[in-house]
Amino acid sequence: MNQLWGYLLAAGAATYVWRVLGVAASRQMDVESPLILWTKSVATALIAALVVRFVYAPSGLLLETAFASRAIALGAAVVGYFALGRRIEGGVGSAALVFVILESLRSG
C-alpha cells in the first residue's frame, strides 16, 4: 500500500522534471523563432507517430478490434475533416461512425 504510493510519487516527479525543463527552455525563446518552429515540427511529427501507433500497435481494448477498422476509420477522420469544411467535429464524428459501423459488421 505505502510502497505503491512511493512509486506513484516517484513517477509523478519523473514526469514533472520534463515540464520544468520545458518552462526553463521556453524562457529563452520567441514565438516565431526558428527554434520554436522546429520544436513545433518535432511535436507534430511525434504526435503523428503516436496516432498511427494506435493503428499498428494498439494496447488494451483496441487489441480486440480489427487493424482494418482502425486504419480505415483514421482515414475517415482526415477525409471527414476536409470534406465537412475543416471542422474538428466533422473529422472525429466521421472516424467514430466508420469505426463503430466496421466493428459491428465484424462482430455481427
Partner 1 sequence: MATEPRPGYDWRGLPQGAAAALSLAGVVMAASFIGFGALLRSVNFELVAGLATVPLIWALPGQVVFVDSIHKGLGLAATSLAVSITAVRLMPLTVLVLAQTRVKGAARWPELIAAHFVAITLWLLSNLKIENVPYRRRLPWLIGLGGMLCGSMIVFSALGYFLADRLPVPLAASLVFFTPAFFLVSLLSGIRWRFEYAALVLGAIMGPLTYRIAPEFDLFVAGIAGGSLAFMLHGLALRFRR
Residue numbers 22-61 binding partner 1 by CB under 8 A:
22-23, 25-27, 29-31, 36-57, 59-61
Q: How far apart are CA 93 and CA 100, in angstroms?
A: 11
Q: Establish if 83 lies at the interface with partner 1 (CB under 8 A).
A: no
Query: What's the N-to-C CA distance of the chain in angstroms?
Result: 43
Q: Establish if 15 lies at the interface with partner 1 (CB under 8 A).
A: yes
Q: Establish if 107 lies at the interface with partner 1 (CB under 8 A).
A: yes
Q: How far is the CB of 84 from partner 1 (least distance, A)?
A: 11
Give the SS3 label for residue 15: helix
Choosing from 67, 68, 83, 88, the residue that interacts with partner 1 (CB under 8 A) is 88
Q: How far is the CB of 33 from partner 1 (least distance, A)?
A: 9
Q: What is the largest CA-CA distance in the chain?
A: 56
- CA–chain centroid gap for 101, Å, is 22
